[in-house]
Chains A and B, each alone.
Chain A
Amino acid sequence: MKDFSNLINAIEITNKTTAKIDAIIHYFKVAADKDKLWLIALFTGKRPSRPVKSSLMKTWCIELAQIPEWLFLESYSTVGDLGETLALLLPNPTKSIEKPLHVWMQELIAVKQKSDTEKKDYVLASWNSLDTQQRLIFNKLIGGSFRIGVSKKTLVNALAKLSGIEANQLMHSIMGNWSVDSISFNDLLEGKHINYDKSKPYPFCLAYALEKELVDLGNPKDWQIEYKWDGIRGQIIKRKNEVFIWSRGEELVTSQFPELVEAVSKFKDDFVIDGEILAIKDSAVLLFNDLQKRLNRKNVTKKLLEDIPVGLYVYDLLEINTIDVRNKSMSYRRTQLEKVFQRNTSEVFALSQIINFKEWEELHNIRDNTRNVNAEGLMLKKKNAIYHVGRKKGDWWKWKVEPLTIDVVMIYAQKGSGRRSSKYTDYTFAVKNDDKLVTVAKAYSGLTDKEITEISRWVNQNAIEKFGPVRTVKPELVFEIAFEGIALSRRHKSGVALRFPRIKRWRKDKTVNDIDTIDSVKALITNL
């Protein structure tokens, strides 16, 4: 485990992706075949199910460390990570043992079937033979995420650099159907178990933010205007009875959206289309927050499928029955796309609506109201434009609606996780409701490290509680928060739900007397 431990250490200490990639490549050069495969499995979510419950591990640790439970919890809220807390609280090991990663994994798979007593014997014996860093890793191998900022894409980039094989093919390989015991490292990289010809995606065509006046774009007749939907941009590939869904981050996300796969499978044509994956219920687009609940799940449960059904708004056609049409004009592609969806109908697919307009003037009003349909602005696409590779200025523009802002006061602070676990980074904000305060939003992002450090220090000094992970603070610090939309909500105590709230800036110039009231917040809802 020493090599793996060194790898984790090297990855977590750096913020630089290149350094992370170098560390991963180094591991692939020194580790045994099976250890390499396990690394890929662990970093792509192909891990075996948790063999030992975390509540049991906590109980055993409290026993060994001989501390009261409240002190364990206090330690946990300072550290912010269960596996790390356990590793730090356990007494020093009396033995030392070195086993390669795949042996640990085999043991953990085997121990899942055992009784709690046998599990305890195994875990305690392991803890007693590992140092703090190795214990942390052992605990993470049992369950929990490493939170070290290695995405599938980073892993694939490392593999690509190591092998010279195209990154997208590697992505398909590692996301494909394989297990550590059924394939060699080289066969996995070479994609012996997949058919990359079928899954190969095209690079996405990307838009720049609009940087000129609408009138300077020329004749309105030359432009196709659509809503800019706020979901997940996806490329859906159907070739020879197989379906693949690629995200804009070049990750294969096919298994996350079974309803899309099912619908596409029934289509007569083969094609590659570009669209937006959205949570759609009763033909209305839901908030991105809702869609988020569907993402990166190992299992998409039946309940989740019912609660948050997913659909696709189709933007573009890239390939039709093996013919690449990206070099045809936008209007040609659109016509072909319409034909495809006349031949193949499905409830979960809808063409992205083209907005009719005559004069540029009209678009301002339309853009300002895009929030009402949970869109985030407009897309302006030139009708004679080809489907470009990547970002190219001039043919596609995104024109986003300005965010809404309100002034709020911080009332709770909580520590973050991973790199942020030592600081109070997660805040709950309130506005005034008569002489009381009412919670309106939680936000995690938007401040600099320096501001977070300053706020953390303030929280330490102004917290009302002294124990536990959440600190109630004096309502003193005022922030301006920005958000993309607002709706009435029965689930929230304040009666409103904000869409994608984030901190715009810390208003040191304002006091709690200057913050918004719940009535002024509700007044922002235009479609009451």
Chain B
Amino acid sequence: MSKSPALTILKENVWTNNPIFVQILGICSTLAVTNNMRNTFIMTMGVLLTTGFSSFTISAIKSLIPRKVRMIVQVLIISFYVIIIDILLRAYLPEVSRQLGPYVGLIITNCIIMGRAEGFAQANKPLISFWDGITSGIGYMLVLMALAVIREWLGFGSLFGLRIMPEGFTPWTIMIMAPSAFFLVALLLWFARNLQTAPAKTAGSPPPTGAQPAPGPAPAQAAPKKEQA
């Protein structure tokens, strides 16, 4: 079980301790743009890069920051990277930058970035902190992209702006609007929690309730998990 720490961190951040499923953190800044796959990809990419680089920087200079003002220093480091991303977007993708509007700036207040800075980068070496930030960003990106696929597919009948549904398809207006995002996050959360708890249930003592659905998904889930670990 004791593989290299990098792999453990990857699995931890993408699946077992995914920032969205386990901690429900950081969805504020990106949920609003998940009805469009391209915008979601660019936003989550921004979060991924900011988390990685700010964790790296904070870890590198952690001994220089006085403890009392470390929160504000962290926020300033994060805003520095977000400003760079904002400028890059404005220069190379002005159309996307206009559509995203204020949400690029809101990456600063994304709780995942602060969470990783406080929870991991404060106590670890720069390179591994960078990796931790990047993998957290990947876990975040995968969940929100899954959400965006469903919302854009049913809401516009397209994926990445390419029409894939036939002419007669009636778009689901609700998928474009805000409530669908809440419902879909909840459903994804439900799905992920069931997958995560199913193997544990069969391994431990049989629980009084929920014994019926456990045998179904459990073997299918146990097999790929063994390969990963």
A and B are interacting partners: no
Q: Which A residues contact B (CB, under 8 angstroms)?
A: none
Q: Which B residues contact A (CB, under 8 angstroms)?
A: none
